[in-house]
Amino acid sequence: MKIKAYKKDAEYTYTLGVFETIELLKNKPELVWRVYIKSNSYKNSGLKIIAQICQEQHIELIESDHTIEKLSKKENCFAIAVIKKYQMTLQEGNHVVLVNPGDMGNMGTIMRTMLGFHYRNLAIIRPGVDIFDPRVLRSSMGAIFHLRVEYFDSFADYIERFPDHDIYPLMLKGAKNIHQVQKDPKRNHSLIFGNESSGLPDDYLDYGQSIFIPHSHQIDSLNLSMALGITLAHFSKDEFKDRTVL
């Protein structure tokens, strides 16, 4: 079977790069159909690891400069793993909810930051970026393989599934300064963020406790991933504040 350039409705997707491919092989080897590597690149220590895992897991490993060039369109890609797309279902715990996210590059940063602060469940309210796009896989540097991501047709659908979560929509018009917000450590919470350009619509003011991050008026807003990072750091602080080393 020939692997074609990624399309949203394809059954498979692929990693582009050694680091992401190793993360995938370590975390979800059962999803991998096949791995392509560049010829004559066994000096790359990452490729040795890839070859070893493929052998242990009986995954087909093919040297094909042609396939790598076709899919990556870049010279500096040495490995590609083709994987079957998979369905994920959110579990209980603290959630991040992105309403209509549009930026692929942001998505990777967001996933890595979530993982950094122990958020492992991501809800995406449609329409939203395709998390299986190879560009998202790449920008997440493998973080996606540690998360559960589920799409919902509407925020109402999401709320119906998780009626007991404390809901915190992040909005410029939010009712409460984040520095004055204390989460209830006994309850699960959901942090809700809007689209990169337009933020959350006003009707989100009616859900739970809306929050703003105070900043100077010389900028319109913090960018989405920055707002998310600051919010996650705030909400997870109790877990991390007593550590004496990283």
For position 188 contacting a copy of itself by CB under 8 A, the verdict is: no
Radius of gyration of the CA atoms of the chain, in A: 20
Residue 222 structure tokens: 């913090």
Residues making up the chain, counted from first to last? 246
Extract the runs of DSSP E, i.e. beta strands, from 2-68: 12-14, 32-37, 60-63
| Cα dihedral value 199, 202, 207, 213, nearest 10 | 50
* Residue of 87, 89, 180, 182 interacting with a copy of itself (CB under 8 A): 180
Q: Does 214 bind a copy of itself (CB under 8 A)?
A: yes
Rank residues 61 and 181 by Cβ distance to a copy of itself and give the closer one.
Answer: 181
Closest distance of CB 234 from a copy of itself, Å:
8
Q: What angle do CA 231, 233, 234 make, to 5 degrees?
A: 65
Query: According to CB under 8 A, which one of 70, 135, 146, 148 is a site residue for a copy of itself?
Result: 146
Among 72, 100, 109, 195, binds a copy of itself (CB under 8 A): 109
User: From the list 90, 115, 123, 149, which residue makes contact with a copy of itself (rule: CB under 8 A)?
Assistant: 115
**In the complex, what is the shortest distance from the CB of residue 117 to a copy of itself, in angstroms, rounded to a whole number?**
6
Q: Omega before 127 cis (within 30°)?
A: yes
- Residues 107 and 131: beta-carbon distance below 8 Å: yes
Q: How far is residue 29 from each of residues 11, 87, 169, 241, measured CA to CA in Å?
A: 17, 15, 36, 35
With beta carbons less than 8 A apart as the criterion, state whether 199 and 100 touch.
no
Nearer of residues 163 and 214 to a copy of itself, judged by Cβ: 214
Judged by CB under 8 A, which of 94, 121, 190, 225 binds a copy of itself? 225
Cα 127 versus chain centre, distance:
16
Q: Which amino acid is at 97?
A: V
Binding of residue 58 to a copy of itself (CB under 8 A): no
Residue type, position 235, single letter: F
Which region, judged by CB under 8 A, interacts with a copy of itself, from 29-37, 48-56, 122-130, 209-217?
Answer: 209-217
Only segment of 9-17, 31-39, 66-74, 238-246 that touches a copy of itself (CB under 8 A): 238-246
Cα–Cα distance for residue pair 161/159, rounded to 1 Å? 5
Give the nearest distance from C-beta 218 to a copy of itself in angstroms.
Answer: 5
163 contributes a contact to a copy of itself by CB under 8 A: no
DSSP element (H, E) containing 55: helix 45-56
Q: Shortest Cβ distance from residue 149 to a copy of itself (Å)?
A: 16
Number of residues that bind a copy of itself (CB under 8 A): 37
Q: Which residues form the interface with a copy of itself (CB under 8 A)? A: 109, 112-113, 115-118, 143, 146, 172-174, 177, 179-180, 212-216, 218-219, 222-223, 225-226, 229-230, 233, 237, 240-246
